[in-house]
Structure 1
Amino acid sequence: MKSFNRFPLELVIWISALFLLATAAPHTDKSALHLSLCPLANMGFSWCPGCGLGRAITLLFQGEIMGSFRMHWFGIPALGIIGYRIFILSRMEWTSYKTKNLKEKERYYV
């Protein structure tokens, strides 16, 4: 159970989310039927503030900057914010890993 508490869940979720968005096929036509993870879209609502954001990030990964901006203006900043969060979490994990290994080495040499 102790190792489960040490599992970097948030880091894995953000990396997985970006991987899924990077490999997704963008549906630029909002009326097209496609699989959606959006609970509002699945309940039948036609408008959702986040659906265009995911498509904008997908288009951005495929190099379509203007298409991304047209889909949702916050796609580029959102990708930057998520990337920065992944960087911070990775750096925290790396620091924790180095500190743990240093403490183990000190324990063996004392």
Structure 2
Amino acid sequence: MNISKHFELVFWIAALTALACSTPSAHHHFSLCPLSNLGVSWCPGCGLGRSISCIFHGDLSQSFSYHWFGIPTLAILLHRIFILSKKYLVYF
């Protein structure tokens, strides 16, 4: 499999896998987010990541409290993975 050709598919699968394996926490932890590193307490990107992580852990109410768009975002990303899989993995 040529990774550069399938970069988007590999990226989304890896990102969702990382969120599924992570423990959502509002407490400060190591982050690549520049807003979080500057001490900003609420970042929409971080909230969205925590929201999706909570969905994978089955906590929908906490997911909604982190970011209201977590559930639709996960649905959009899963749909994108499905479309890319059909496009690129049909030959396997």
CA pair 37-16 structure 1, distance change in 2 beyond 3 A: same
1:11-59 Cα distance to aligned partner (Å, 9 max, x none) = 00000000000000110xx3x2211122221233333221110000000
TM-score (normalizing by structure 2): 0.87
Match of 1:40 among 22, 35, 39: 35
- Deviation, 1:74, is 0.3
TM-score (normalizing by structure 1): 0.74
Pairing 1:84-99 to 2, within 5 Å after superposition = 84-95=79-90, 97=91
For 2:48 and 2:77, the matched residues in 1 are separated by 12
For 1:57 and 1:89, the matched residues in 2 are separated by 20
Taking CA–CA contacts closer than 8 Å with sequence separation of 6 or more, which of the two structures ends up with the larger relative contact order? 2
Question: What do you get for the CA RMSD once the two structures are aligned?
Answer: 1.7
Amino acid at match of 2:7: L
Amino acid at match of 1:79: L
